[in-house]
Amino acid sequence: MPATEASIGYGSLFDISRDGGDTWLSLGEVFDITPPSAAVDVIDATHMASPNRTREFIAGLTDPGDASFSQNFVPGSAADVTIREIRTSGERVICRITYPNAAVWKFDGFLTGYNPAVPTDDKMTAEVTFKVTGSTVVEAAAIPAVLVGPAISGTVQEGETLTAYPGQWSGGPTFTYQWNSEGVPISGATSQTYVPVVGDVGDNLTVTITATNSEGSAAATSPETVAVLAA
């Protein structure tokens, strides 16, 4: 028997776009997602001569249903502000669910429910519901592709912490990091941050990001920093 391909939902993403798919916004700390659940209308086509006095039916239109998620509710956060803006405007947005295996579902929708809960002795949560309009576009899993390249932030000086920004990627990947000095990998420098040492003074640094999902891996390297300054 072949091994199962089942997986848990951890790592799934729910994003929206307000500009036709050019940029995508995360809607906070999502922990449960309910994808669109379409249903086909049933039309009663019974007539006076239906065989054996039995009702007859035909398939009608498809109702694309709703999509929803639960999230940790943080009042005043960027996610809270965005969701309330969308609710007030009634605008139609593009929703995107990225699954752990990098398959993607995209659909249009408008916000129909935003229901925060504030319990006495448990975490605050919110339920967010979108009414799906039109059909859902399914994109098969694919190797990650870089959309916005990686970058480095921080003061480029001996003893100062630099931070790698992985950029934006398709395919819902996880990331690993490799810092380089003059294009040569720095031994052991594989975390998201790096503190230049005296041996880096005068060198230009880069960081290589490797993005991995169930379909494979791809890598991209940041632009060089300026030369590392002495402390």
The CATH number of the domain holding residue 210 is 2.60.40.2700
Say whether both 100 and 50 belong to one domain.
yes
HSE on the CB side for 57, CA within 13 Å? 7
Say whether both 120 and 153 belong to one domain.
no
Say whether both 212 and 164 belong to one domain.
yes
Q: How confident is the model at residue 155 (pLDDT cuts 50, 70, 90)?
A: very high
Q: Higher-confidence residue: 199 or 173?
A: 199
Q: How confident is the model at residue 97 (pLDDT cuts 50, 70, 90)?
A: very high
Say whether both 121 and 21 belong to one domain.
yes
Q: Quick check: 85 and 33 in contact, CB under 8 A? A: no
Domains held by the chain: number: 2
pLDDT surpassing 90 at residue 229: yes
- The reported pLDDT for the residue numbered 214 is 77
pLDDT surpassing 80 at residue 116: yes
Does residue 230 sit within a domain? no
Say whether both 107 and 208 belong to one domain.
no
Say whether both 101 and 151 belong to one domain.
no
Q: In whole angstroms, give the CA distance from residue 7 to residue 12.
A: 11
- Among 139, 163, 197, the domain boundary falls at 139
Q: How confident is the model at residue 195 (pLDDT cuts 50, 70, 90)?
A: very high
* Structural domain span for residue 169: 146-221
Does residue 187 sit within a domain? yes
Domain of 106: which CATH number? 4.10.410.40
Say whether both 205 and 95 belong to one domain.
no
pTM for the full predicted model? 0.69
Say whether both 102 and 164 belong to one domain.
no
- Among 96, 113, 139, the domain boundary falls at 139
Does residue 1 sit within a domain? no
Does residue 126 sit within a domain? yes
Say whether both 128 and 159 belong to one domain.
no
What order of strands is seen across the sheet that includes strand 30-34? 25-26, 13-17, 93-98, 104-117, 125-139, 66-72, 30-34
Dihedrals φ, ψ of 74, to 5°? -125, 95
- The reported pLDDT for the residue numbered 31 is 94
The mean pLDDT of 204-230, rounded to a whole number, is 94
Does residue 210 sit within a domain? yes
Say whether both 21 and 118 belong to one domain.
yes
Q: How confident is the model at residue 141 (pLDDT cuts 50, 70, 90)?
A: confident
